[in-house]
A = this chain, B = another copy of it.
Amino acid sequence: MVGIGPGARNEISQRALDALKNSETIVGYKLYVDLVKDIIGTKQVIATAMRKEIERVEIAIQEALSGKTVSIISSGDPGVYGMAGLVLEVIAQKNIELSLEIISGIPAANAAAAVLGAPLMHDYAVISLSDLLTPWETIEKRVKCAAEADYVIVLYNPKSAQREWQIEKTAHIIRQHKPPTTPVGIVKDASRENESVIITTLDKMISCPIDMTTVIIIGNSTTFRYRNYMITKRGYHV
């Protein structure tokens, strides 16, 4: 289970590169496989469509059981809404014996933070707004609690063509606990070719372009904007 980080070639770890080079079969979502195409070369590649996660895992496990060394790719970190958990869930459920390795990558949240400045310098909550696999009530409660306790809040999967109201509802809940002037960073494709970075405020975030691969970071009560940086204070007397 290999994390390729945010996408830029020079942000992948050597450990991940070596795993890809030493694998006979590479399994992944097409977009992520394409990001490392030149490393993979002529290896066997099994690229599946989006939302075919279980299929992808079952193919990878079949290949591995046939004796091959297999890499299953996640963007960011495979342990953060990635493939690591699903592989382990299937292995646990079927009680399969396989030699496994989980190779971290820089998570999307941290890659987004780095292009914004330093918004995650204090306690933060990471929440996916996708209610395909999680009841909305659970998500809503987590958003409310994180806002109440003055966490910096990171939102994954904020919006898609089929999910439009969730981000509006989320912004509404957060506004009941954080001031409208709270800095908000909106990052798309951090460290990839089409990187886009917006720093705005809580009351204006909803009118910014947001889609499925956008990461949104909402500051805590100490977060401030300075030039093009979003900075959360650590508590030092500077």
> CB within 8 Å of B: which residues of A?
5-6, 8-15, 18, 53-54, 77-82, 84-93, 102-107, 110-111, 113-115, 117-128, 132-134, 138-139, 141-142, 144-146, 148-151, 224, 226-227, 229, 231-236, 238
Q: Which residue of B lies closest to A233 (CB)?
A: B89
Known pairs A86-B238, A123-B126, A141-B148. 13 more at Cβ < 8 A?
Answer: A10-B18, A12-B13, A79-B118, A80-B120, A86-B236, A90-B238, A92-B229, A102-B114, A102-B117, A102-B118, A122-B134, A123-B142, A134-B235
B contact residues around A107 at 8 Å (CB) = 107, 110
Nearest-Cβ distance from residue A222 to partner chain B, whole angstroms? 10
Assess the B133–A81 pair: CB atoms within 8 A: no
Copies assembled: 2
Across the interface, which residues of B come within 8 angstroms of A134, CB to CB?
Answer: 122, 235
Q: What is the distance, in angstroms, from A63's C-beta to the closest C-beta of chain B?
A: 18
The complex places the Cα of A113 from the Cα of B79 at a distance, in Å, of 7
Tell me the complex Cα distance, A113–B102, Å: 9
In the complex the two chains form, is B123's CB within 8 Å of A89's CB? Answer: no
**A192 CB, nearest partner CB in chain B, Å:** 14
CA distance A119 to B78 in the complex (A): 11
CB nearest to A88 among chain B residues: B231
